[in-house]
Structure formats: C-alpha cells, structure tokens
Chain A
C-alpha cells in the first residue's frame, strides 16, 4: 500500500479549497444552530445560491467577479427571508422540515431542463472564473505545498479562502461576544425569557439566519471557484449533512469548531478512504469493490453524526454546559 501517497492526500485535504468551503458553510451553521439554536437543514441551498448567483451573473449578465459575488450574497439574503418569514415564528422542528424541503425544491429547480439556458440544467456551469482569476498576482506554474501540488490558481483560491476563514472567525467572535450575541444565546436557551425582556425574538433569529446564510453563500463560491465548475448535484441534502457533521465534530457553539471539525473530518475521511482502497487493492476486503469504498464514505458520515450527537454533543472544542438545545 502506498502510505506516503495516502498521507500526502490526507495532508492535502487539510488545506484544500473544498475543506475551506465546508468550513465556511459550517461557520454559517454555527451562527444558526450553535449560537441561535435554529435547526437549519438547508445550508446546501444557501451555499448553492451563492454559487449560482455568482456563476449566472458572470455568464448570463457579464458582471465582474465582485458584482457577481454581491449577487450571490444577496440571493442568500433573499432566501433567508423566504425561509425565515414563515418558519421562524414556529417551533424549531418546523424550520428543519421547511429548510430541507426548500433546499430540495431549489435543487430540483437548478437541475431542471426548463431553466437550462440560465442554470445549465443537470450538466451545470463552467467558464465563470476568468474575471476572478484575472486578479491573481501569483505567476503561472506548479507549486508544491508540503506534499500536494497545486496550480497558481489553486494557491490563490486557497489563500483567499483561508483569509476569509480568518476574517469570518474574527467577525463571529466579535458578534457573539457582543450584547447582540448574548441575546442570541438567550434565544437558544430560553426564547420566552428573552421575549419577556421585550426583545423581538423573530428579528434576532432572522438576522442570525441572514448572517449565517451569507457566510455559507461565500463558502459556496469558494467551492465552485476551485474546480471552476458548478454542478447542481453538489447542492444536495448530503452536502448539508456533511456540514452538520463538520460542525458537530468541532463543536457547535464555538467559532473555531468548524475549522477544527472541517480539517479533521476531511483528513480522516481521506485517510480511511485511502486505507480502505489500499486494502481492497490488496484483496484484504474481498466483499468490497472500489466504488463501494466511496459509498462507505457516506456511511461513515452518518455514523459519525449519530455517535457525536449521542456521546459528544459538545464536539472537540465545545463546552459541555453549552451543548445543543433541548427545546420542545
């Protein structure tokens, strides 16, 4: 078995743009779930709207990358209103069902052939990244980072991504330490108590939903800028579930939890996949074939989600006292 190769892939996964995208989406979810207690199961839709807002603006309307990014962010804001207005006044499990339903409806619409002129239908979109990479100052060439090799574009998007992660971390820390953030935590712990203090719970929840959604939209843009390809198949429910696993692994009510969770989750996933593929190649696991190894990947995501919630709901970084909500 090629241990060096597997190790290289694992380390590459720690810092890859995809990991960054998941980390950003999970930070948005930390805002929703960790700090406000909103059960948002439509994070894939927020990220997908960011991605499609960006790529459609560039391809169909010829906008510059920054204007396109703004459109992506505004789409996420609009979506937050659409979801939030009917559901934020209701019990938390309604939000869960409505967000997952809305995300699925959006996925159907994005992959439908009726809107293919705009969305590219099920084959997706590409060729939207040129104006973004036009500002790349890094000279052309191959760059080796520890063991993984990247193009100048890969290096650029990774740097941008990590800078965004740092900025969002600072932003979230400031927000959650502010009086505003304390009200959010109050809502998470006891909505009625906050309401009795005269605060508009609905408005606070809506603001949280918007901020977290915008962070996810930015994550979605990073996700498509790395491969320069936007496929509707990315923005499915499994994407949301991965984000949940990343968040719960790191710690839901922490700012850095998503970073730690994302890096360890994808490294572990790559490591198990590499080792299992190696074992299948060696014939040690005769009942499996290579394509089934990729399926087991999702099985492990599900298992991790179950075990985390049952045995370690505070994740790696969280405080046991500040775990999940017990709302009913």
Chain B
C-alpha cells in the first residue's frame, strides 16, 4: 500500500484512504479537485495575459512537503489555445481556460529546482478532461517523497488495527443476532436493516439536525431500540403465537428485510451519506488511524463488556441464558419467557443501532449498508458457533481481521468474498463453530 504525504493524511481520514488504497492518486485528485473548485470561485490573481473564466485547471507542486516554486507549466487545448504559467510560493498553479474541453498540461522539467524530479510513474505531459466538470486538477508527484512504500510490518500493523476496529463493530451487531437466535431460534435476516437504521438515524440527528454528537448517537440508538421493540411486539410475538415453524419465520424475516430496505431507500434515497468526514488522523508510532476509530473501538469494547456483565451477573441476564438453554424449562421455573425475549430484542436492537452509528461515523451511511454486512455478521455468528455470545465476538473479530488483512494479498473488491469462503471452509473442519457445542448441530 502506498502511503500519502503526511500533510494530506491530515485532511483525509485513514479509513477513506484504506478504501482507496488501490488508487491513492484518486484520493489526491479528489482533494485537489475540491481545492480547485474553491479557487475557481475566488477572484484570480491574474497576470496580464490571463483572462478570468469559470473553467479552471489547477494543481500544486509539492516535493514531500516542500513547495516547488517557479516551475513552468503549459496548457494547450482546442483552437490553438496555449497558456503558460509558473507555480507560486506555495507551489500552486492555475489555468483559466475558455471552454470545457480536453486540455494537455505539460510541466517543463528543466525548470524544476535542483534535486527535484518527477516520480517515475508521473508523465510530464498529462491530459485533463474538463468536459462537464468546469474545473479539474492535475497531479504531479515528485521523487520518492510523495508516495512511499511502507514496510510489510507497518502495513500489517495498520491493517490489523483496522481489522480489530471493524471486527468490534461487527461483534456488537453479531451479538444481537446471537441473542435473538439463542432465545427464539430465529435466524434474523432483517438484522442488517437495524444497522442501516442506526447509521441513517445518526445522519438525520447529527448531520441534518446538527445535534450534539452524543445526543445524536443516543437518539439514533433509541430509535433502533424502539424498532426492535415494535418488531417483536407487532410481528415476531404474534408469529410465535401462530406456532409458525422456525424456517418459515426465517423466510418471513427475509421478506421483512426486503421491505424494510426498500422503505429506507424510498425515504432516504440511494446516495451514500457522509456523516462525519471520517475524523482526524492520529499517528501512534507506525500506526495511522483516526480519533473516531479509536473512540469507536473504546465504545465497542465497553458495550461488549457491558453485555458480558449483563449475561453473567444480572438476574435478567441469567434468565436470558436460561431461556436460551431451554425455554420450556425456564418458563416452568417462573421466568416470563415473552418478557425476556422482548428485553433481548430491545437490547439486540440497541446494540445493533450502536454498531450502525459507529459504522456510519467511520465510513458512510446508505440504504444497503446493513444488507452488505449482513452476511459478514452471519459468518461471524456461525464461525463462533450459533447462539453463543462469546462465540459471536470471537467470530466477528476473525471476520474483521480477515476482511482488512486479505487485501494485502488479493484484490480489495474480493475481501468480503474471502471472509465468506473462510466461513464455508471452517464449517467443513469444525461444523459447530470455534466455540460452539457439538449438540447444537443437527
């Protein structure tokens, strides 16, 4: 993976970079394009020959963090258009061009300051397509300072950290699936939609309504928890009363997941929503991460410990485990099974909503978000052993690490596929999952 110059890393969250790991240039161009857009809006400090127009091509010449001053750059375009500028004190250059067309931008290498040279993969002459854009950026990278290969260990540290982070996010949602499965026997295929709901609600409360981040998160979790309560009371409890078979209830949950997903699409639209911008970069030794990621990991850990305490130390938690073990026996000892199931639904929905909030803050929110990670959640739960909370956590961490580490050896777009293949392989070797009991398999 290529690492970007620190000055840029500050602007763009690490996770964003990880996503673009295959094309760091893309991230740079995006940053520059934004910058160029701002320039286009402000009055230009024009030389005599330069006419101010709406159409701008710009770029910044930086060798590492040193701006390259006084470098000659020429743009040529249709109708014999030619314009030559030199980079200013900050290494920046701008062209104001007459029309939206394709231009060729050429950097005169003989004007580069002593010691600076273009990176081997950067041509001096580049085509810039302005059509339909209005502004565009040219990117020149210099020497070896801009893009440097990280050592394999540094890469691994960053990826393991990102994997743990993602794994913890999966874990709090997977525990929800596991608790519901344990107490009701339902493999809830509509679980991913609660992750989506949490993330979209965070977008509504934090980005749209501009509430304080803690209040917004609590509100989003509350909405998701209420949705869990409503799901159990209005749908799953009546279906249990009808004595519908477990497999049938599972198919109902698939239908419900489709309905819920498309309702959210109708309300929120198909575009992804940026909630926080990914947070600020934090560097600890050779580890690059963001403050949001660190906070998210901390919160996830606290939530996981909270669940463990609840299940092992509180009366309701013990009753929950009793219901998971044997519902009829639990009922005969005076435990109100329906009440326990309701509590489990609310707790599971709240945890899943929290997962959605944290996911949305670090990455982005969109209507298909939950559906995309649903299979990873199932993989986590199945890996650990269906119905055990500890197993779900371990499974989620394994899946998170696999998803984040596998791009070191295979294409980024196949990282989810690898996690799913590992699920299948583990089922061959150890069907009951890593921590499951043998009796749980059929």
Interface residues, chain A, CB within 8 Å of chain B? 39, 41, 82-83, 85-87, 89-94, 96-98, 100-102, 104-105, 108-109, 111-114, 237-238, 241, 244, 248, 292, 295-296, 298-299, 301-307, 309-310, 313, 324-328
A108 engages B416 (CB within 8 Å)? yes
A85, A94, A238, most chain B CB atoms within 10 A: A94
Asked if B295 is at the interface of the complex by the 8 Å CB criterion, the answer is no
B246 engages A305 (CB within 8 Å)? no
- Size category, B interface: 35 or more
A248 to chain B, nearest CB (A): 8
**Given A91-B442, A97-B187, A244–B254 Cβ distance below 8 Å?**
yes
Chain A residues positioned under 8 Å from B257 (CB to CB): 302
A92 engages B258 (CB within 8 Å)? no
Chain A residues positioned under 8 Å from B382 (CB to CB): 94, 97-98
A134 to chain B, nearest CB (A): 36
**Given A96-B250, A299-B263, A325–B245 Cβ distance below 8 Å?**
yes
Chain A residues positioned under 8 Å from B263 (CB to CB): 299
**Given A101-B379, A296-B262, A310–B442 Cβ distance below 8 Å?**
no
CA gap between A238 and B262 in the complex, in Å: 12
- Total number of residue pairs linking A and B with CB closer than 8 Å: 147
CA gap between A98 and B433 in the complex, in Å: 13
B247 engages A112 (CB within 8 Å)? no
CA gap between A302 and B266 in the complex, in Å: 14
Q: Which residue of B lies closest to A111 (CB)?
A: B413
Given contact pairs A303-B255, A326-B245, a sample of 12 additional A-B residue pairs in the complex whose CB atoms are under 8 Å apart: A82-B424, A100-B375, A109-B414, A112-B414, A296-B262, A301-B258, A302-B255, A305-B258, A307-B255, A309-B244, A309-B255, A327-B247
Q: Which residue of A lies closest to B425 (CB)?
A: A86
**Given A113-B411, A241-B254, A310-B252, A90–B262 Cβ distance below 8 Å?**
no
Asked if B428 is at the interface of the complex by the 8 Å CB criterion, the answer is yes
Asked if B423 is at the interface of the complex by the 8 Å CB criterion, the answer is yes
Interface residues, chain B, CB within 8 Å of chain A? 185, 187, 239, 242, 244-248, 250-252, 254-259, 261-263, 265-266, 371, 375, 378-379, 382, 386, 410-411, 413-414, 416-417, 420-421, 423-424, 427-428, 431, 440-442
**Given A296-B262, A304-B255, A326–B427 Cβ distance below 8 Å?**
no
Chain A residues positioned under 8 Å from B266 (CB to CB): 292, 295-296, 299
CA gap between A316 and B247 in the complex, in Å: 20
A108 engages B413 (CB within 8 Å)? yes
Q: Is the interface of B mostly helix, strand, loop or mixed?
A: helix
B258 engages A310 (CB within 8 Å)? no
29 contacts between A and B (CB under 8 A): A87-B427, A90-B427, A90-B442, A94-B431, A96-B187, A97-B382, A98-B382, A101-B378, A104-B417, A108-B414, A112-B411, A114-B410, A241-B258, A295-B265, A296-B266, A299-B262, A299-B263, A302-B256, A302-B257, A302-B258, A302-B261, A305-B254, A306-B255, A310-B242, A324-B245, A326-B247, A327-B245, A327-B246, A328-B246
A85 engages B428 (CB within 8 Å)? yes
Q: Which residue of A lies closest to B429 (CB)?
A: A86
A298 engages B262 (CB within 8 Å)? yes
B291 to chain A, nearest CB (A): 32
Chain A residues positioned under 8 Å from B428 (CB to CB): 85-86
B245 engages A89 (CB within 8 Å)? no
Q: Which residue of B lies closest to A287 (CB)?
A: B266
A93 engages B427 (CB within 8 Å)? no
CA gap between A89 and B421 in the complex, in Å: 18
Chain A residues positioned under 8 Å from B371 (CB to CB): 237
B141 to chain A, nearest CB (A): 24
A298 engages B258 (CB within 8 Å)? yes
CA gap between A299 and B260 in the complex, in Å: 8
